[in-house]
A and B are shown apart, each in its own frame.
Chain A
Amino acid sequence: MALKALWVRTTRTDRYLILLLVLVAFTSLFLSFGRTAGKQLVIYADEKIVFTGPLTRDRLLELQGPLGETQVEISAGQVRVVSSPCPRKICIGMGSVWRSGDLLACVPNRVVVRIEGEGKKGYDLLSR
């Protein structure tokens, strides 16, 4: 059996290490799914903010990047990239996002869409 051969070749430290990393992965997975739905979205093109707006209003946005036009759709409180001129279409493959902190990025066309939660929840000022 392949599994038995695999088991024989791992040392005890190996098994503890794998267990530890699996725990880390699941804990972070749990933490990342515990987030609430976002309130508004911010779009960056070429590292500058080009659009901010609520998630509740459906619309289709067209953004200019160095490669051409990226289309971003807001519908039913979710955001997705509909079309993009980039070669590998990873941004389209990222699907829809809606949780606060979620991110859609088209690296070749330098377009980043970010979902934000309640506007004024963070700190105004931190002094140490």
Chain B
Amino acid sequence: MISSAAEQQNLEQTRQRVFMALFIALAVGLHTFEALLPNPLPWFRIGLANILALTVLALYGLRAMWVLTLSRIFIGSLLLGNLLGPGFLLSLAGGLGACLLMSGGVVLLRKGIGLIGLSVLGAAGHVCGQLLVAGLVIIQHQSIWLLLPVLLLFALVSGVLNGFAADLLVDYLLQHPAFSACRKGFGPHQLKG
């Protein structure tokens, strides 16, 4: 059976779409699961869903990461029932902050950076985005930034662990034939020609 190059490309596109849907579903699952966990420290999240964002970033590129994070936040809050509430606003701000810093990391440090570094950047961006919105919209006072050092330290720990998990996951997935057309990297075109 011979398939033409065009057909091959078509197959890869369809495959990527299907996998994106699965990754988004998983991310929504993790987002919701994390909301169910007891959290002794207010406003602190492990950011499990970011593991999927990093995985998709490494496999399919920046655009896929943005798509996954934004859909995850919208669908996740729809499930949790806090869509457009303050909790949703904080999560959206955190997601946007994380994506912005991770995109910055990819664009500026493409040669040197790895998934763990990106994950830490994302965690820091998440904290900054949340504090920004919390300070501007919810508390409306800038002393909220006093929380920054504490939250940042926790974010660093969870960022390193998440990045580690994502790195392991990507290496594991790449062994599977379904991802044979992908390679690990952060460029705009991850699919091999």
Contacts and interface: CB of A to CB of B under 8 A. Distances in A.
Interface string B90-122: 000000000000000100010011111100110
Contacts of A47: 140
A10 B141 contact: no
Interface stretch (A26-34, A52-60, A68-76, A77-85): A26-34
A1 interface: no
Contact of B156 (A11, A18, A93, A101): A18
B160 interface: yes
Interface residues of B, number: 31
Chain A's interface size range is 20 to 34
Contacts of B105: 17
A121 interface: no
A68 to B, nearest CB: 18
Interface string B55-96: 000000000000000000000000000000010000000000
Interface of A: 5-6, 9-14, 17-18, 21-22, 24-26, 28-29, 32, 47, 88, 90, 93-94, 101-103, 105, 107, 112, 114
9 contacts: A5-B164, A11-B114, A17-B113, A18-B116, A21-B156, A25-B148, A47-B140, A94-B42, A114-B141
Interface of B: 42, 86, 105, 109, 112-117, 120-121, 124, 138-141, 143-144, 146, 148-150, 152-153, 156, 160, 163-164, 167-168
